Amino acid sequence: MTLRRTLPLAAAVAWAITLACAMVPLRAPAATPGNAAPTAAGPPLRLAGRTPLPGYAGDFDHLLADVPGGRLFVAGEDGSSLEVFDLASGRHLRTVKGFDAPHALHLEATTRRLVVSDTGPGLTRVLDADTLAPVTLPQPIPAGDSMAYDASTGRLWLVTGGKNAVPKQRDTALLQIDARTLKVLGRVRIDSDFTEGIAFEQRGRRAFVNVAGKSEVLVLDKRTGQVLATWPVTAGQSNSPIALDEPSQLLFVVTRKPFKLVVIDTRSGASVASFDVPARTNQLLFDAAQRRLYATGDGCVAVFDELGPDRYAPRACVPSAQGAKTGLLVPAMHSLFVAVSPGSSHATAALLRYAVLPRP
C-alpha cells in the first residue's frame, strides 16, 4: 500500500532526538511514557549491506524470503514488477514483469507456488516459485491488496475491493483461500473502503483485522468468519501495519494520523500504550526471539524492546534512508531487510540488509 506523502529526512532525525527510552507498564491505568534510562547497551541492528537499484522509480510494497531457494522477493508496486534478490548477498538477480500494482506475497511450500496480490484491472497473480513463470488457475483469484497467511489453518486471507480497486468500491471483502489448492473458501464483507493489515492467533481462534477506514480493529473467528468484537483505536486514525505477540496477549498497530505505535490488550481490546514512530511507517515486525518490535519508516528503523511482563520501551532509531518503509525479518538468517522506495523523489531505490544483534 503506497504512502504518497513525502517528508524530509529531518523528520526522522527529529523523531530520534525526541524518542525517550521510556518504560511503560502496558496494562497499568495510566499509559503515558515517562523518562528513564536506556533499555540496553549496544545497537540492536548493524547495517550489513546495501544494493542500489538505480533503474527503479516509485514505491515498493512488501517483501518475502524463499529461504530454501536462497532468494528475496520485493513487490515493485509502482514499477509493476517483482524484484528478485540473492538472499545471502543481497545481489539483484532479475526483474519479473507482467503485473499491474503488486503488493503482498506468499510462497506455498507444498506446491512451490508464489501468490502475488495485485490491484488494477487484472487479477491476483500466481507464479511457479522456481521458474517464476505464470501459472493459470481453473478459478482465478480476484485482484487484491493486503494479504496474510494463517499457518494454523493453511489459509490465505486477501483484501479485495475498496478505494484501491479498479474501479473503486465502497466496501471491502476478506477472501479466505486454501493456500494449497488456491480455491476461495469464504468471504467476509467489511463496511469500509479501506482494510489493511491482518494478524492471526496460532493457538487461538481469532483473526485481527485493521479496518483503517474506520480506525478500528475487527476481531473475527478465523474458521467461521463470525464477528467476535470491534475495538476502536483511540490514539490515532488509519491503523494499517499490524503485529501480534500472542503469548503476551498484545496486539500492535501503527496509525498514520499521526504516526503512532499503539499497543492493544487482546483480553479486553483496550489501547494500553502508544509511542511515536517514524513518518510513513508501513511495516511492523515482531521478533519473537529477541522480544523486539521493528517499525520501518522514513529515515530509520524504530526498535522497541519488551522489558518483561507489562513493560515495553523504545530502544533505538537505527538509521536507514528516506522512503525505507517496508521490511522483512528473516529469523533463520538473523537478518532484517528494508526496501528503500524513491517515491516521487530523485533518490535511488535500494535494498538494505541489517544483521539482527542479540540482546545483552
For 50-84, b/e burial (b = at least 16 CB within 10 A) is ebebeebbbbbbbbbbbeeeebbbbbbbbbebbbb
Q: Is residue 97 pLDDT above 60, yes or no?
A: yes
CA 92 – CA 338 distance, rounded (Å): 14
The mean predicted confidence, pLDDT, of the chain is 90
Query: Do residues 179 and 156 touch, judged by C-beta distance below 8 A?
Result: yes
Q: What is the pLDDT of residue 41?
A: 65
Q: Provide the 3-class DSSP secondary structure of residue 137.
A: coil
Q: Is residue 10 pLDDT above 50, yes or no?
A: no
pLDDT top residue among 334 and 308:
334
Q: What is the pLDDT of residue 120?
A: 82
Q: What is the pLDDT of residue 144?
A: 96
Q: What is the pLDDT of residue 28?
A: 37
360 — pLDDT class (breaks 50, 70, 90): confident
Q: Is residue 319 pLDDT above 50, yes or no?
A: yes
Q: What is the pLDDT of residue 347?
A: 82
Q: Is residue 346 pLDDT above 50, yes or no?
A: yes
Give the tens place of pLDDT for each residue, 108-118: 999 999 999 99
Query: Do residues 65 and 58 touch, judged by C-beta distance below 8 A?
Result: no
Give the tens place of pLDDT for each residue, 136-195: 999 999 999 999 999 999 999 999 999 989 899 999 999 999 999 999 999 999 999 999
CA 163 – CA 146 distance, rounded (Å): 13
Q: What is the pLDDT of residue 222?
A: 95
Element (H, E) at 65: strand 63-66
65 — pLDDT class (breaks 50, 70, 90): very high
Q: Is residue 82 pLDDT above 90, yes or no?
A: yes
Q: Which residue has the cell 526498535?
A: 303
Q: What is the pLDDT of residue 308?
A: 79
The pTM (predicted TM-score) of the whole model is: 0.90
Q: What percent of the chain has pLDDT over 70?
A: 88
Q: Is 42 left (phi over 0), alpha (psi -120 to 50) or beta?
A: left
Beta bridge partners of 211: 216
